């Protein structure tokens, strides 16, 4: 199992490196276009999409008629042919066409290697011991807002493999995608018994405070600097919860107003780590408590704290009725 996880970890890290390289080649393509005063990326959101690649291939094949180039646009593009024609009017100098050709060839070369990497990743996933069978216990409905696979998602059904290996569908956790879970699996494994409690797991991730004490006083209480890839994946997942209608989303919004974004991202990532740990360790599916759960829980906790403080000062809180009178029986 450990050997297999090492294989998976190495392959997924290589895949991340290839994705970063492909993004760099896209930037080089955009730079070559801008140097020719061609602003294709202003009218086409993704120059590596269907329309962008058609136009780039035609330009490199020698086509300079902007009206013919504009006719290559896909029907899903919102920009009009007139807008595309204006964006393609430029100075097609040979040196910039040369750099554009090289960047495009390198991009395609890198994307081809990502596909080959996906084949190896799938072969490794097939070797990992399964805890569940997707055929006898089908996956729950996806909570993702994306109806189609995203550009950098694997070329196979990663979600099903993750479900069978972990025994639970961790993508049900708010903010989690298959890419998040695959990083957690490759970095932490599927056996949560390595950590005694969820606190130990969060500490390993570097998501717990590291108090520095001097003279009996805490002078600093920050998390340790860490490059843990699993922790980075959890932080990215936490950043997507700003508008989430879930109890984790409510926690994020309330904490962000009080602590600011950086501390809130860490605190939310800690909660996500706890939820993931308990799900995988206990084999229980995620249960959404709702946005109101956190608000009610927070109100009860605040009231309990105020009552304790009032009691220590010799006072007693008396609830107020809806008509403005007090309830002396309390």
Listing DSSP states for 22-50 in one string gives HHHHHHHHHHHHHHTT--HHHHSS-TTSH
Q: Is 192:277 a contact under the CB 8 Å cutoff? A: yes
Residue 150 has what pLDDT?
72
Residue range 41-69: mean pLDDT, rounded:
93
Exposure pattern of 178-189 as b/e (b: 16+ CB <10 Å)? bbbbbbbbbbbb
Q: Nearest 5°: phi and psi at 255? A: -70, -35
> 150 burial class (0-12, 13-18, 19+ CB within 10 angstroms)?
exposed
3-class secondary structure for 98-140? HHHHHHHHHHHHHHHHHHHHHHHHHHHHHHCCCCCCCCCCCCC
CA distance 258 to 250: 13
Listing DSSP states for 182-194 in one string gives HHHHHHH-S-GGG
pLDDT tens across 252-269, in order?
998 898 889 999 999 999
User: Quick one: how far is CA 104 from the chain centroid?
Assistant: 27
How many helices and strands, by DSSP H and E, does the chain display? 13, 2
H/E stretch holding 209 reads: strand 209-214
Q: pLDDT-derived band of residue 330, with 50, 70 and 90 as boundaries?
A: very low
213 three-state secondary structure: strand
Q: How far is CA 127 from CA 121, 162, 230, 262, 275, in A?
A: 10, 12, 22, 39, 27
Residue range 214-227: mean pLDDT, rounded:
71
pLDDT tens across 73-121, in order?
999 889 999 999 999 999 999 999 999 999 999 999 999 999 999 999 9
| Per-residue pLDDT at 225 exceeds 90 | no
CA distance 112 to 146: 24
CA distance 144 to 260: 27
Q: Is 41:84 a contact under the CB 8 Å cutoff? A: no
Claim: this prediction has a pTM higher than 0.95: no
Residue 294 has what pLDDT?
73
pLDDT tens across 158-200, in order?
999 999 999 999 999 999 999 999 999 999 999 999 999 999 9
User: Quick one: how far is CA 198 from the chain centroid?
Assistant: 21
Closest to 274 measured CA to CA, from 162, 195, 159: 195
Residue 147 has what pLDDT?
63
Residue 165 has what pLDDT?
94
């Amino acid at each position: 199992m450990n050997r297999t996880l090492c294989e998976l970890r190495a392959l997924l890290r290589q895949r991340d490196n290839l994705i970063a390289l492909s993004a760099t080649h896209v930037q080089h393509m955009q730079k070559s276009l801008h140097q020719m005063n061609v602003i294709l990326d202003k009218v086409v959101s993704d120059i590596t999409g269907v329309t962008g690649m058609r136009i780039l291939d035609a330009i490199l094949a020698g086509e300079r008629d902007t009206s013919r180039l504009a006719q290559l646009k896909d029907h899903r593009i919102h920009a009009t042919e007139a807008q595309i024609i204006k964006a393609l009017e430029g100075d097609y100098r040979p040196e910039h066409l040369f750099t554009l050709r090289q960047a495009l060839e390198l991009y395609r070369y890198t994307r081809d290697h990502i596909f080959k990497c996906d084949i190896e990743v799938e072969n490794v996933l097939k070797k990992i011991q399964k805890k569940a069978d997707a055929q006898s216990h089908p996956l729950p409905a996806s909570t993702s807002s994306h109806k189609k696979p995203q550009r950098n998602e694997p070329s196979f059904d990663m979600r099903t493999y993750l479900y069978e290996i972990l025994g639970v569908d961790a993508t049900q956790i708010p903010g989690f995608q298959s890419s998040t879970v695959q990083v957690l699996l490759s970095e932490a494994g599927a056996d949560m018994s390595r950590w005694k409690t969820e606190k130990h797991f969060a500490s390993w991730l570097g998501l717990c405070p590291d108090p520095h004490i001097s003279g009996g006083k805490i002078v600093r209480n920050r998390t340790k600097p860490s490059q843990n890839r699993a922790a980075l994946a959890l932080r990215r997942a936490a950043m997507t919860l700003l508008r989430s209608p879930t109890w984790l989303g409510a926690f994020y919004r309330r904490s962000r107003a009080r602590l600011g974004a950086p501390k809130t991202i860490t605190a939310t990532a800690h909660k996500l780590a706890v939820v993931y740990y308990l799900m995988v360790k206990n084999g229980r599916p995620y249960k959404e408590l709702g946005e109101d759960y956190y608000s009610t829980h927070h109100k009860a906790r605040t009231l309990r704290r105020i009552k304790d403080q009032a009691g220590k000062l010799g006072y007693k809180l008396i609830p107020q009725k809806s008509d403005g009178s007090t309830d002396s029986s309390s």
